[in-house]
Amino acid sequence: MASPDEMGLTPDAARGYEQFFVPSIFHQWPPLIAAQAAIQQGDDVLDVGCGTGATTREVARHVGADGSVAGLDLSESMLGVARETCPGVDFRQGSAIDLPHDDASFDAVVSSFMLMFVPDPMQAVSEMRRVLRPGGRLVVSVWQSLDTNPAYAALVEATQQVAGGESAQSVAWPFTMGESGRLSEIFKSAGMPGAMVSEHDGTAVFPSVEEFVRTEIQAWLLADSVDEKDIAMIVAELRARYPDFGGTGGPVEFPLNAILVKYLAD
Protein backbone atom coordinates (compact mmCIF):
# COMPACT_ATOMS: atom_id res chain seq x y z
CA MET A 1 0.00 0.00 0.00
CA ALA A 2 1.30 3.48 -0.89
CA SER A 3 2.34 5.81 1.92
CA PRO A 4 0.09 8.78 2.73
CA ASP A 5 1.06 12.09 1.15
CA GLU A 6 1.31 15.57 2.67
CA MET A 7 -2.44 15.59 3.30
CA GLY A 8 -2.47 12.10 4.78
CA LEU A 9 -4.10 10.73 1.62
CA THR A 10 -3.18 7.71 -0.47
CA PRO A 11 -3.79 7.24 -4.22
CA ASP A 12 -6.63 4.85 -3.33
CA ALA A 13 -8.30 7.54 -1.21
CA ALA A 14 -7.95 10.04 -4.06
CA ARG A 15 -9.48 7.61 -6.53
CA GLY A 16 -12.31 6.99 -4.05
CA TYR A 17 -12.89 10.73 -3.86
CA GLU A 18 -13.22 10.95 -7.64
CA GLN A 19 -15.37 7.81 -7.87
CA PHE A 20 -17.79 8.53 -5.03
CA PHE A 21 -17.71 12.16 -3.93
CA VAL A 22 -17.66 13.84 -7.32
CA PRO A 23 -20.82 12.19 -8.71
CA SER A 24 -22.67 12.34 -5.39
CA ILE A 25 -21.77 15.89 -4.33
CA PHE A 26 -19.30 17.95 -6.31
CA HIS A 27 -20.40 17.57 -9.94
CA GLN A 28 -23.16 20.19 -9.60
CA TRP A 29 -20.92 23.06 -8.47
CA PRO A 30 -18.29 23.56 -11.22
CA PRO A 31 -20.75 25.03 -13.77
CA LEU A 32 -21.98 27.55 -11.19
CA ILE A 33 -18.45 28.46 -10.12
CA ALA A 34 -17.34 28.91 -13.74
CA ALA A 35 -20.39 31.09 -14.42
CA GLN A 36 -19.81 33.21 -11.31
CA ALA A 37 -16.18 33.70 -12.36
CA ALA A 38 -17.29 34.57 -15.91
CA ILE A 39 -14.79 32.13 -17.40
CA GLN A 40 -14.54 32.68 -21.13
CA GLN A 41 -12.53 31.60 -24.11
CA GLY A 42 -8.92 32.73 -23.94
CA ASP A 43 -8.79 33.21 -20.16
CA ASP A 44 -5.85 32.11 -18.05
CA VAL A 45 -7.31 30.47 -14.95
CA LEU A 46 -5.92 29.03 -11.72
CA ASP A 47 -7.81 26.39 -9.70
CA VAL A 48 -6.53 26.47 -6.09
CA GLY A 49 -7.10 23.29 -4.13
CA CYS A 50 -8.07 21.56 -7.35
CA GLY A 51 -8.32 18.06 -5.84
CA THR A 52 -8.99 15.49 -8.54
CA GLY A 53 -9.93 18.20 -11.03
CA ALA A 54 -13.73 18.42 -10.95
CA THR A 55 -13.74 22.21 -11.32
CA THR A 56 -10.56 22.21 -13.40
CA ARG A 57 -12.28 20.15 -16.09
CA GLU A 58 -15.18 22.60 -16.29
CA VAL A 59 -12.86 25.58 -16.49
CA ALA A 60 -10.77 23.96 -19.23
CA ARG A 61 -13.93 23.43 -21.27
CA HIS A 62 -14.64 27.17 -21.19
CA VAL A 63 -11.19 28.63 -21.91
CA GLY A 64 -10.68 26.64 -25.09
CA ALA A 65 -7.44 26.30 -27.00
CA ASP A 66 -6.60 30.00 -26.65
CA GLY A 67 -6.67 29.95 -22.85
CA SER A 68 -4.76 28.09 -20.20
CA VAL A 69 -5.59 26.35 -16.93
CA ALA A 70 -3.34 25.70 -13.95
CA GLY A 71 -4.22 23.59 -10.94
CA LEU A 72 -2.63 23.51 -7.50
CA ASP A 73 -3.15 21.13 -4.60
CA LEU A 74 -1.22 20.08 -1.52
CA SER A 75 -2.01 16.41 -2.12
CA GLU A 76 0.09 14.54 -4.66
CA SER A 77 -2.43 11.70 -4.51
CA MET A 78 -5.22 14.03 -5.63
CA LEU A 79 -3.00 15.53 -8.31
CA GLY A 80 -2.24 12.06 -9.65
CA VAL A 81 -5.93 11.56 -10.42
CA ALA A 82 -6.29 15.11 -11.74
CA ARG A 83 -3.46 14.61 -14.21
CA GLU A 84 -5.20 11.50 -15.54
CA THR A 85 -8.55 13.28 -15.99
CA CYS A 86 -7.28 16.69 -17.15
CA PRO A 87 -4.46 16.28 -19.68
CA GLY A 88 -2.88 19.52 -20.78
CA VAL A 89 -3.37 21.32 -17.46
CA ASP A 90 -0.35 22.68 -15.58
CA PHE A 91 -0.76 20.90 -12.23
CA ARG A 92 1.60 21.73 -9.38
CA GLN A 93 1.94 20.50 -5.83
CA GLY A 94 1.97 23.36 -3.37
CA SER A 95 0.27 25.32 -0.62
CA ALA A 96 -2.58 27.79 -1.01
CA ILE A 97 -0.87 30.15 1.42
CA ASP A 98 2.23 30.43 -0.78
CA LEU A 99 1.19 30.10 -4.40
CA PRO A 100 4.06 29.23 -6.78
CA HIS A 101 2.86 31.76 -9.36
CA ASP A 102 3.89 35.30 -10.30
CA ASP A 103 1.86 38.37 -9.47
CA ALA A 104 -0.96 39.20 -11.90
CA SER A 105 -0.71 35.89 -13.78
CA PHE A 106 -4.39 34.98 -14.17
CA ASP A 107 -7.66 36.41 -15.46
CA ALA A 108 -9.58 34.32 -12.95
CA VAL A 109 -8.89 32.26 -9.83
CA VAL A 110 -11.33 29.69 -8.49
CA SER A 111 -11.21 27.59 -5.35
CA SER A 112 -13.82 24.92 -4.63
CA PHE A 113 -14.49 23.71 -1.08
CA MET A 114 -10.86 24.04 -0.03
CA LEU A 115 -10.61 27.13 2.14
CA MET A 116 -11.88 25.42 5.31
CA PHE A 117 -8.87 23.10 5.30
CA VAL A 118 -6.23 25.88 5.15
CA PRO A 119 -4.51 26.86 8.41
CA ASP A 120 -4.49 30.55 7.43
CA PRO A 121 -7.50 31.30 5.18
CA MET A 122 -6.85 35.04 5.11
CA GLN A 123 -3.36 34.44 3.73
CA ALA A 124 -4.79 32.02 1.17
CA VAL A 125 -7.29 34.52 -0.25
CA SER A 126 -4.59 37.22 -0.18
CA GLU A 127 -2.43 34.96 -2.33
CA MET A 128 -5.31 34.38 -4.73
CA ARG A 129 -5.78 38.13 -5.01
CA ARG A 130 -2.03 38.62 -5.61
CA VAL A 131 -2.00 36.43 -8.72
CA LEU A 132 -5.07 38.11 -10.27
CA ARG A 133 -4.64 40.56 -13.11
CA PRO A 134 -6.41 43.94 -12.97
CA GLY A 135 -10.07 43.26 -13.68
CA GLY A 136 -9.66 39.62 -12.73
CA ARG A 137 -12.29 37.53 -10.94
CA LEU A 138 -11.92 35.42 -7.82
CA VAL A 139 -14.60 32.90 -6.79
CA VAL A 140 -14.36 30.75 -3.66
CA SER A 141 -16.90 28.18 -2.49
CA VAL A 142 -17.37 26.61 0.93
CA TRP A 143 -20.18 24.68 2.58
CA GLN A 144 -22.80 26.48 4.60
CA SER A 145 -22.87 25.68 8.30
CA LEU A 146 -24.38 22.52 9.75
CA ASP A 147 -27.45 24.56 10.72
CA THR A 148 -28.46 24.63 7.06
CA ASN A 149 -27.18 21.15 6.20
CA PRO A 150 -29.28 19.00 8.56
CA ALA A 151 -28.36 15.58 7.15
CA TYR A 152 -24.71 16.28 7.87
CA ALA A 153 -25.58 17.69 11.29
CA ALA A 154 -27.30 14.37 12.01
CA LEU A 155 -24.28 12.47 10.70
CA VAL A 156 -22.00 14.43 13.05
CA GLU A 157 -24.26 13.62 16.00
CA ALA A 158 -24.46 9.95 15.05
CA THR A 159 -20.70 9.73 14.62
CA GLN A 160 -20.13 11.31 18.02
CA GLN A 161 -22.52 8.83 19.62
CA VAL A 162 -20.73 5.84 18.10
CA ALA A 163 -17.12 6.87 17.54
CA GLY A 164 -16.56 9.80 19.87
CA GLY A 165 -15.90 13.51 19.70
CA GLU A 166 -12.67 13.46 17.71
CA SER A 167 -14.26 11.48 14.88
CA ALA A 168 -17.34 13.71 14.94
CA GLN A 169 -15.12 16.78 14.72
CA SER A 170 -13.49 15.39 11.57
CA VAL A 171 -16.92 15.05 9.95
CA ALA A 172 -18.00 18.53 11.08
CA TRP A 173 -14.82 20.34 10.05
CA PRO A 174 -15.74 21.01 6.38
CA PHE A 175 -18.76 23.06 7.53
CA THR A 176 -16.95 25.40 9.94
CA MET A 177 -16.31 28.11 7.34
CA GLY A 178 -20.07 28.58 6.83
CA GLU A 179 -20.58 30.38 10.12
CA SER A 180 -22.39 33.69 9.68
CA GLY A 181 -20.13 36.56 8.65
CA ARG A 182 -16.90 34.58 8.77
CA LEU A 183 -16.13 34.72 5.06
CA SER A 184 -16.90 38.43 4.81
CA GLU A 185 -14.50 39.08 7.67
CA ILE A 186 -11.77 36.94 6.10
CA PHE A 187 -12.00 38.77 2.76
CA LYS A 188 -12.20 42.16 4.47
CA SER A 189 -9.10 41.38 6.54
CA ALA A 190 -7.34 40.33 3.33
CA GLY A 191 -8.01 43.75 1.80
CA MET A 192 -11.07 42.78 -0.23
CA PRO A 193 -14.02 44.50 1.52
CA GLY A 194 -16.05 44.50 -1.69
CA ALA A 195 -16.32 40.72 -1.89
CA MET A 196 -19.87 39.55 -2.57
CA VAL A 197 -21.21 36.60 -0.53
CA SER A 198 -24.15 34.55 -1.79
CA GLU A 199 -25.88 31.38 -0.61
CA HIS A 200 -26.77 28.53 -2.99
CA ASP A 201 -28.87 25.42 -2.55
CA GLY A 202 -27.47 22.09 -3.64
CA THR A 203 -28.33 18.42 -3.36
CA ALA A 204 -26.41 15.31 -2.39
CA VAL A 205 -27.46 11.94 -3.81
CA PHE A 206 -26.12 8.61 -2.57
CA PRO A 207 -27.18 5.06 -3.52
CA SER A 208 -28.22 4.37 0.10
CA VAL A 209 -27.83 5.62 3.64
CA GLU A 210 -25.14 2.99 4.12
CA GLU A 211 -23.18 4.30 1.13
CA PHE A 212 -23.53 7.87 2.39
CA VAL A 213 -21.99 6.92 5.73
CA ARG A 214 -19.36 4.65 4.23
CA THR A 215 -18.29 7.28 1.70
CA GLU A 216 -18.14 10.14 4.17
CA ILE A 217 -16.43 8.21 6.92
CA GLN A 218 -14.78 4.97 5.89
CA ALA A 219 -13.74 5.95 2.37
CA TRP A 220 -12.39 9.33 3.34
CA LEU A 221 -11.95 10.90 6.73
CA LEU A 222 -11.80 8.02 9.16
CA ALA A 223 -10.79 5.02 7.07
CA ASP A 224 -8.40 3.63 9.68
CA SER A 225 -10.49 4.20 12.80
CA VAL A 226 -14.07 3.17 11.97
CA ASP A 227 -14.86 -0.45 11.08
CA GLU A 228 -17.93 -2.09 9.52
CA LYS A 229 -19.58 -2.60 12.90
CA ASP A 230 -19.23 1.12 13.62
CA ILE A 231 -20.61 1.94 10.18
CA ALA A 232 -23.74 -0.12 10.88
CA MET A 233 -24.18 1.58 14.26
CA ILE A 234 -23.74 5.06 12.74
CA VAL A 235 -26.31 4.22 10.05
CA ALA A 236 -28.82 3.19 12.71
CA GLU A 237 -28.18 6.35 14.72
CA LEU A 238 -28.40 8.51 11.61
CA ARG A 239 -31.76 7.06 10.61
CA ALA A 240 -33.06 7.77 14.10
CA ARG A 241 -31.80 11.36 13.99
CA TYR A 242 -32.78 12.17 10.39
CA PRO A 243 -36.28 10.77 9.80
CA ASP A 244 -36.27 11.56 6.06
CA PHE A 245 -33.92 8.63 5.56
CA GLY A 246 -36.44 6.23 7.08
CA GLY A 247 -35.82 2.52 6.75
CA THR A 248 -35.44 2.29 2.99
CA GLY A 249 -32.31 0.78 1.52
CA GLY A 250 -32.71 2.71 -1.72
CA PRO A 251 -31.19 6.00 -2.93
CA VAL A 252 -31.19 8.99 -0.59
CA GLU A 253 -31.28 12.64 -1.59
CA PHE A 254 -30.92 15.59 0.75
CA PRO A 255 -29.91 19.28 0.82
CA LEU A 256 -26.23 20.17 0.74
CA ASN A 257 -25.94 23.94 0.59
CA ALA A 258 -22.96 26.14 -0.18
CA ILE A 259 -21.68 29.72 -0.03
CA LEU A 260 -19.92 31.42 -2.91
CA VAL A 261 -17.75 34.50 -2.53
CA LYS A 262 -16.97 36.60 -5.60
CA TYR A 263 -14.39 39.37 -5.80
CA LEU A 264 -13.60 41.61 -8.77
CA ALA A 265 -10.03 42.91 -8.77
CA ASP A 266 -9.37 46.60 -9.38
Q: Does the pLDDT value for residue 40 go beyond 60?
A: yes
The span from the first CA to the last CA of the chain, in angstroms, equals 48
Q: Rounded CA gap, 188 and 211, in Å?
A: 40
234 belongs to a structural domain: no
73 belongs to a structural domain: yes
CATH number at residue 72: 3.40.50.150
pLDDT digits (tens, 9 = 90+) for 209-251: 999 998 888 665 555 667 889 889 999 999 999 988 876 678 9
What pLDDT does residue 218 have?
Answer: 66
Number of domain units in the chain: 1
Q: Rounded to two decimals, what is the model's pTM?
A: 0.94
246 belongs to a structural domain: no
Q: Across residues 88-103, what is the average pLDDT?
A: 97
CA torsion 191→192→194→199, rounded to 10°?
-140
Domain containing residue 48:
11-146+174-204+252-264
Q: Rounded CA gap, 181 and 186, in Å?
A: 9
220 belongs to a structural domain: no
